[in-house]
Amino acid sequence: MSAPAVRRHLASYALASVALSLPWPLLLLLTWERYGDAPHGALVVGAVGAARMVPYVLLSWLVGSLGDRVRRERLLAATLVLRLACLAVVALGVASGHLLAAVVAAALAIACGTPAYPAVAAAMPQLAGAGSRRATEALVTTEVAAWVVGPALGGLMLTPWGRPWAPTLAVALTLLAIAAAWGVPLPGPATDRRTREAVTGMVRTVRTTPVVVAALACGGLVNVVVTATAVLLLPLTQHAWGQSASGFGVATACLGFGALGAPLLWWVRGPAGSRGRWGLALLGALLAWVALSPLPAAALPVLAVVGALAVMVECAVTETLQAEVPDEHRAGVLGVADTVMVAGAMVGSFVAPLLAARLGSRGALLVAGAGCLVVLLPVVLRSVARRRVELADETSSHPRQARPTLERV
């Protein structure tokens, strides 16, 4: 497959992903303005915020298998058209004051987009050929960065003049995404199976392949840790560093936009599984540095590196799944990975405030960093077991000789 085809699919995916995230700051603000003073206003706002992630957790593991049983370019085109329709409803709902309809349509747009990432990522080894690793890194970086860039762009449009145009811009970006990907083939398995058979085979592949299970665990763990870190930055900047709200914003920006630096780590060599484990371990060590830093100046550049390492780990997880899972189940397993990663993000956002309340922001961040070191436990255990075998072999090959005795004179 040609390089222009790879670039067009990556551009399309980037545009569509930013479009999905762009309306949510406006929807949250409108919800707060309408229900913020109500008795259960905080609960309503929290539900709207969660509505952005729930479709990934509920659907990605299931709909990912669609990319293993239908032509992937047709599936991608269908998701883009459905997202365009949903985002148009969002624009109409905001313009007419029907906030509930706009929130539901925005959540449905995300639900319609859940098959896209597994399908594109599953096709990348065939689509990019020898450049698969670089293309996968660009795809995963785009997937992660869209969660930052989309809301950032939407946040910039929360001015009185910009509000009406935020949903419209999301529609325009989706139209551009359709134009970029239209007619470009997306390789996939030539199968004609029912969805139930595809899901059953995918689950069997996950259950019987330890490398796949380890990669999914690594992907879930990195999302728990990074999301918890993003939440813990608020008490860390305000209580430990004595910063204002703007200080929290700067720290969050360093962590979020640091993700865009992941392609700069292309020089890290070794198998994908090894890169993922050691990248996560290094991420944990850097979080300890951030937790113990007395001033933000020493921590902010490190937070940017943490963001880049997190994406590098997710890239390594994706590469492992691409290599270890046969093409007829690859999209489904990548859908499972999407579910695991977003579920990890939800767990991290829920657990972080509880840890901070008990241990303080520095203690909670140290616990998050220590959690990263769990991935090295299998490596240590294998090293110990290997050393024991070597010692046993040495003992058996050199039997103990009788101890010489001194004769009396």
pTM: 0.77
Residue 195's pLDDT band (cuts 50, 70, 90): low
CB of 343 closer than 8 Å to CB of 59: no
For residue 242, the SS3 value is coil
194-393 CATH fold: Growth Hormone; Chain: A; (1.20.1250)
| DSSP code for 115 | T
CA–CA distance, 262 with 145 (Å, rounded to integer): 10
Given this model, what pLDDT does residue 302 score? 95
Provide the pLDDT for residue 273. 84
Q: Which residue has the tokens 């989309």?
A: 150
| DSSP at 137 | H
Residue, of 303 and 259, whose pLDDT is higher: 303
Cα separation, 353 vs 347, whole angstroms: 11
pLDDT at residue 407 above 60? no
* Chain region(s) in the chain for CATH 1.20.1250.20: 1-192, 194-393
Between 78 and 160, residue with greater pLDDT: 78
Average pLDDT, the chain: 85
Give the position of tokens 């991935």. 375
Average pLDDT in the 47-64 region?
Answer: 84
Output the pLDDT for position 71.
86
Q: Look at residue 406 in the predicted model and tell me its pLDDT.
A: 43
Q: Does residue 51 surpass a pLDDT of 70?
A: yes
Chain centre distance of CA 352: 18
For residue range 294-333, list pLDDT tens digits in order.
Answer: 988 999 999 999 999 999 999 999 999 998 988 888 888 9
List the single range of 176-185, 200-209, 302-311 with lowest mean pLDDT: 200-209
Q: Which range among 105-119, 183-197, 235-249, 352-366 shows the weakest confidence by mean pLDDT?
A: 183-197
Residue 176 or residue 194, greater confidence:
176
Query: How high is the pLDDT of residue 197?
Result: 61
pLDDT at res. 4: 87
Among 115, 69, 72, residue whose Cα is nearest residue 339: 115
Beta-carbon contacts of residue 281 (< 8 Å; ≥ 6 apart): 372, 373, 375, 376
Two tokens, residue 190? 């030539």
The CATH number of 1-192 is 1.20.1250.20
Indicate the pLDDT class of residue 291, thresholds 50, 70 and 90: very high
Q: Confidence band (pLDDT; 50, 70, 90) for 191? A: low
Mean pLDDT within 380-385: 63
Q: Which residues, other chains included, contact 252 with Cβ-Cβ below 8 Å and sequence gap of 6+? A: 230, 233
